[in-house]
Every structure is written in structure tokens, then in C-alpha cells.
Amino acid sequence: MNDRLKALYKTQILAHAKNSFNEGVLDDYTHKIQAYNPVCGDQFDLYLKFEGDVIHNTSFKGYGCAISKASTSVLAKQLLGKSKSEAKALIELFLKVINPENSESPESLTSDEELLAFASAREFPERLTCANLAWEKVKEVLEVA
Amino acid sequence: MQSIKSEFPIFENARKEGRSLIFLDNASTTQKPQCVIDAISGFYTGYYANVGRGLYWPATIASASYDQSREKVRAFIGASSKKEVVFTSGTTDAVNKVVNSFLLPQLEQGDEVLVSEMEHHSNFVPWQQACQSKGAQLKVIPLDAELNLDLSELASMLTDNVKILAITAISNTLGVKNDLKKIIKLAHQHNVKVFVDAAQLPLSEKIDVQEMDCDFLAFSGHKVFGPTGIGVLYGKQGLFDKMSPLAYGGGMVQQVSVDKTIMADLPSKHEAGTPNIAGAIGLAAAIDFVNSVGVEEIGRHSAELRKYAVECLSEIEGLTLLAKDAEGTAILSFTVEGIHPHDIAAFLAEKGIAVRAGHHCTHPLIQKLDIAGTVRISFSIYNSEEEVDLLKNTLDEIRSFFL
């Protein structure tokens, strides 16, 4: 199996795709965010429970390829405990890490391995929408929330 | 097969890991042989002009070539007259035109339109939207357990209320072939007109619209080695005569005054505006190519590869083939337990193997099957058993990587 693609699917991603973080429906959510890609059919519902300004609990449910599922799982995990402005900053950071047009190297942006795992998506423009699907949706919601 | 493959320059140019592209996405579109590319560039470089009106010599050659292309299409589908052959931009365009000019003018509340559960969105959404705009009902013919069209259900759904039955010749997702002669005969017993989506048919078997007795039939040039942007709508002359023009504009009129317009005769009546001349010329070259190899030969070769793929892929644990016993088609869909179709397609692409993954523009079918999508492989004349072997080996590797 070739190294370029292996890098994309590195252990972090496969691990999150197989054993996702908080998969399921949150009973007492305050925000339900639907991420759907009509082109490929990937579909995730992300549940956030805000307490005041802080995201107190998260979960997600849905289906998609390993990349989109893992990226949604990482998002759910990393949003936990973040304030709204921290969450926005996190999402901006992640989108920079995977953006092929960004001249900064992923490693110069963060040392977080869960986020860096998706940096290889820069080399696979057709998979960018898998990596950013849920992140873009949450970004939209946070901007108006 | 090597000599036929060498007529397709893409296999020289598009290489990965020292190998030619392995193109297993022929249900989506086909690669182009040099003769088609030459015909198109020959038109632009040698005798380009508009058709119909020019009195100078490139225009007369262009007009004659355009007309000849129509004649080639006529012979290709066995129509009795060129008047029954209208160029469109593709199958989707043809469906929309039949909806607008044949169905909508007569569609009333309480009427019904029949489609099947295996239709491509292009032969589903236009009918659905037309029905919704008039308060008519779209009824969907179900598939049986083997994923074949349920003919007994169809029989019971054919009533006096049905205005048209729109059915695909071959499911683009499953590779299941419908018994069109039987279906059309059944529909005609109830005076129901039939539109055939033949997008996947022309390289599977020789089309004979008269023997089939369909009322309308459409296919796309790009799926038969021709260029994109050109397609064909066949319609029985009596229907084309009665129908209002598929579009209005220049080139489709006899006389125009401030008060009224007298439409041109068939087929011009249904072709408004400057047509896709290069597309028609390219399509004609593609038909010449297909005829030189033989539709039967292409169909046989592709169906045998499907059969071979069924054998090979059956050995893979956790892999489920859909409609695996479908006969005489080039399309095969499968799923692999625990691995999403897009992940499989991405890994195959890295090996230079082009396949489709997803819902293949057949949401209603994918919902019925209750799956996330499928991986679809589809064969043509330039594919080989060695390519299927490589596919099989790569799928084994993918399984061991993911599972």
C-alpha cells in the first residue's frame, strides 16, 4: 500500500474512525448541527451541550468515509470544555492545517497529533470536503450562535 | 484487445506507478479513441462553419456532415427515419424535453407517471417535479428480492390514469437489465407510452427501436466513446409531429411574422439554435468506431469481464456483490463490510484504478438497499482480466490495512 495514502489514513484517523469519540445522541443537547455532503452522501449529526459560554458535552451520530468520520470524532472530542471563542479558534486552526493553499507548514501551526493527522488531506484535494465537513458546519453555527 | 486499447491515447498519457490508467468507470463515461478526437479537430481545423444556412463551401460540408451524423445515429438505433432522431445535449436533456413537450401539456391532477425504483436521478427528478407541479402522482415500480424490476407489480400499476412509463434499460448502479420488449408490450396494452433511458444500453446490445417498440428513447454520446454535450432523443414520428417544439428559437421555423410562427418540419422543429455540430460529428465517428469493433463484441467482452469479476471478488471475505447474477451487462456494484465505499475508491485510485463510489445518482435505490453507497466497477472494450486481478489484489490489501 502506498505511503502517500497511508499517511493520510494514519493510525490516528483509523483509530478515530473505528472507535469514535462519544458516538450517539446526546439527550440534553442545546445545539444539533447537521453536516451533510450531498455529493458523496456523508451525513453526521453533531450534538453540543452549552452551559453558558462553555461546551459541556458533545456527541455525534452518522455515517461517512473513514476521513469524515474520524474528523467529526476529533471535532467532538476537541470541542469538549471549550468556550465559544476557543472553539472558533480551534476550528480556524484545523482548517489552516488542512488547507492546501496555506503556505505555513502544518507542524508550524500546531503540535496536536490529532489535528496534524489530517494534514495529508492537503495532498488530496478531492478529500478535503471529507476532512472539513463537520468543522465547516460547526463554524457556521458558532458564527451566528 | 491490446490493439483496440492502443487506439485510446489516454492510456499512453495517463499513467500511475508505471502503468496505464485502469479505467473501470465506464458507466459514468467512456474514454475517447483517436478517430473521435480527430473527427472533432478535423471539423474545427478543416471545414468549420455553421450548419443550415451558409451558401459557402465550408458550410455545405458542415451541413452535410451534420446530416450524415443524424443518419448514422438513425441506423445505429434502427429508427425508420431521420425525422425520429433529435440531437440533445445528453440523456438528461432528452428526459427534460420529453417532460416539457410531451407530458406537461397533457398532465392533469389525478394523472399518474410510472418510474422504477432503480432509476438514475435524471430519469426520476424531472418526472417527479412535473407531477408535483400539476398535482399528479409519481408511482415507483418496486424491485423484487433479486433486485430485478417486479413485473407483476408493474402490471398492476398500469391503469388508465398513467400518462407515461419512464424506465431505464440497464440500472447504472446494479447492472440489472430490464426486459424492455416485455415491459413496453405490457404498457402498450394499457395505452401507456414508454420512455426508455438507454444511457447504459448502446454498448451492451444492438438497439432496435422498432423491434423494441418504445415511444421515446435517449442516450448520451459520451458513454459510447463520443464527446460530451451531445446526446440523442428518439421519438416515434407520430409523437414528434404532434408535440410542440422541444425548444423555440432560430433554425426550427419555416416562417415567422409578428403574429405567428410556422414551425419547421421534423427533425429541425425540435432543434432550436445552433446545434452542437462538433458533438454530432464526434458522435458519428464514435458510432463508426463502435460498428467497426461491433456492439455485440463490446457487449460480450464487457459482460464476460463482469462475470470474471463476480468470480474473483466473491473470494474476498466481507465483500457483498449486488445483483451478482445480472446477465449481459458491464456494471457491477459491491460493498465491503466495515469499509466505506469512498475509502475503497481512494485507495484504488492510488493504484491507478478508477472506480465510482457512492450513490451513483440513485438515492431512492440506495435508500431502499439501506446502505451508505456502493463501489461500482463498469467495463468496456479496453479492460482486461489482468485489470480485474489487480483490482482483486488491491481490495485484499485494502482489507488488511483497514481491518
B236 and B96 within one domain: yes
Distance from C-alpha of B377 to C-alpha of B388, rounded to nearest angstrom: 10
Question: Which residue from A minimizes the CA distance to B341?
Answer: A65
List of chain B residues whose C-beta atoms are within 8 Å of the C-beta of residue A127: 346
Residue B99 forms part of a structural domain:
yes
Condensed to tens digits (0 to 9), the pLDDT of residues B208-220 reads 999 999 999 999 9
Mean pLDDT score of chain B: 96
A63 has a chain B CB within 8 A of its CB? yes
Domain membership of residue B174 as a residue range: 37-292
Residue B324 forms part of a structural domain:
yes
B364 has a chain A CB within 8 A of its CB? no
By annotation, the residues of B acting in catalysis are 361
Residue B30 forms part of a structural domain:
no
Residue B314 forms part of a structural domain:
yes
B342 has a chain A CB within 8 A of its CB? yes
pLDDT of residue B17: 79
B44 and B16 within one domain: no
Alpha-carbon torsion (B378, B362, B168, B288), positive or negative: negative
List of chain B residues whose C-beta atoms are within 8 Å of the C-beta of residue A69: 340
B330 and B230 within one domain: no
Q: Which of B51-65, B179-193, B236-250 has the lowest mean pLDDT?
A: B51-65
Cell of B379: 467495463
B118 and B45 within one domain: yes
CATH number at residue B110: 3.40.640.10
B285 and B341 within one domain: no
B247 and B337 within one domain: no
Q: Best residue in B340, B374, B400 to probe A by mutation, most A CBs within 10 Å?
A: B340
At residue B1, does pLDDT exceed 70? Answer: no
Q: How far is CA B156 from CA B141, B205, B398, in A?
A: 10, 29, 46
3-state secondary structure of A35: strand
Q: Assess whether the previous peptide bond of B105 is cis (omega < 30° from 0).
A: no
The interface residues of chain A toward chain B in range 112-131, judged by CB-CB distance below 8 A, are 124, 127, 130
B84 and B11 within one domain: no
Residue B64 forms part of a structural domain:
yes
Provide CB contacts within 8 A for A70, sequence distance 6+: A12, A13, A14, A15, A16, A17, A20, A117
Cβ contact, residue pair B343, A40, below 8 Å: no
Q: What is the mean pLDDT of residues B169-190?
A: 97
The confidence band for A2, taking pLDDT boundaries of 50, 70 and 90, is low
B323 and B353 within one domain: yes
Percent of chain A with pLDDT over 90: 72
Condensed to tens digits (0 to 9), the pLDDT of residues B267-306 reads 999 999 999 999 999 999 999 999 999 999 999 999 999 9
List of chain A residues whose C-beta atoms are within 8 Å of the C-beta of residue B350: 1-2, 4-5
Tallying the residues shown for chain A, one arrives at: 145
Distance from C-alpha of B149 to C-alpha of B167, rounded to nearest angstrom: 10
B77 and B214 within one domain: yes
Question: Which residue from B minimizes the CA distance to A67?
Answer: B343
Distance from C-alpha of B99 to C-alpha of B378, rounded to nearest angstrom: 29
b/e code A27-44 from CB counts within 10 Å (16+ = b):
eebebebebebeebbbbb
Question: Which residue from B minimizes the CA distance to A2?
Answer: B350
Percent of chain B with pLDDT over 90: 93
B279 and B179 within one domain: yes
pLDDT of residue B53: 75
**Min Cα separation B342/chain A (Å):** 6
B332 and B284 within one domain: no
Cβ contact, residue pair B340, A14, below 8 Å: no
CATH number at residue B343: 3.90.1150.10
Nearest to B176 by CA among B393, B389, B369, B386: B369
Distance from C-alpha of B312 to C-alpha of A88, rounded to nearest angstrom: 49
List of chain B residues whose C-beta atoms are within 8 Å of the C-beta of residue A64: 340, 342, 372
Q: What is the mean pLDDT of residues A92-99?
A: 96
pLDDT of residue A19: 86
Distance from C-alpha of B283 to C-alpha of B275, rounded to nearest angstrom: 13
How many CB atoms sit inside 10 A of residue B55's CB? 6
Angle, vertex CA B286, rays to CA B181 and CA B8, nearest 5: 125
Distance from C-alpha of B84 to C-alpha of B69, rounded to nearest angstrom: 13
Last residue of a domain, one of B292, B308, B341: B292
Angle, vertex CA B376, rays to CA B373 and CA B381, nearest 5: 165
Are B159 and B186 in contact by the 8 Å Cβ rule? The answer is no
**Min Cα separation B359/chain A (Å):** 7
List of chain A residues whose C-beta atoms are within 8 Å of the C-beta of residue B358: 39-41
3-state secondary structure of A121: helix
pLDDT of residue B36: 98
Last residue of a domain, one of B292, B321, B353: B292
Residue B31 forms part of a structural domain:
no
Residue A79 gets which letter from DSSP? H
Q: Judging by DSSP bridges, how do beta strands B193-197 and A31-36 pair with one another?
A: unpaired
Percent of chain B with pLDDT over 70: 100
Strand partners, B15: B20
List of chain B residues whose C-beta atoms are within 8 Å of the C-beta of residue A66: 339-340, 343, 402
pTM of the model: 0.92
DSSP letters spanning B330-389: SEEEEEETTB-HHHHHHHHHHTTEE-EEE-TT-HHHHHHHTSS-EEEEE--TT--HHHHH
- B340 vs A2, A39, A64: nearest CB: A64
Distance from C-alpha of B229 to C-alpha of B250, rounded to nearest angstrom: 19
Residue B32 forms part of a structural domain:
no
Distance from C-alpha of B98 to C-alpha of B246, rounded to nearest angstrom: 8
pLDDT of residue A1: 52
Q: How many domains does chain B have?
A: 2
Last residue of a domain, one of B230, B263, B292: B292
Provide CB contacts within 8 A for B367, sequence distance 6+: none
Distance from C-alpha of A97 to C-alpha of B73, rounded to nearest angstrom: 52
- A5 vs B346, B366, B372: nearest CB: B346
B134 — phi, psi (to 5°)? -115, 5
At residue A55, does pLDDT exceed 60? Answer: yes
B337 has a chain A CB within 8 A of its CB? no
Q: Best residue in B121, B173, B343 to probe A by mutation, most A CBs within 10 Å?
A: B343
List of chain B residues whose C-beta atoms are within 8 Å of the C-beta of residue A40: 342, 357-358, 373
Question: Which residue from B minimizes the CA distance to A127?
Answer: B346
Residue B204 forms part of a structural domain:
yes
B188 and B53 within one domain: yes
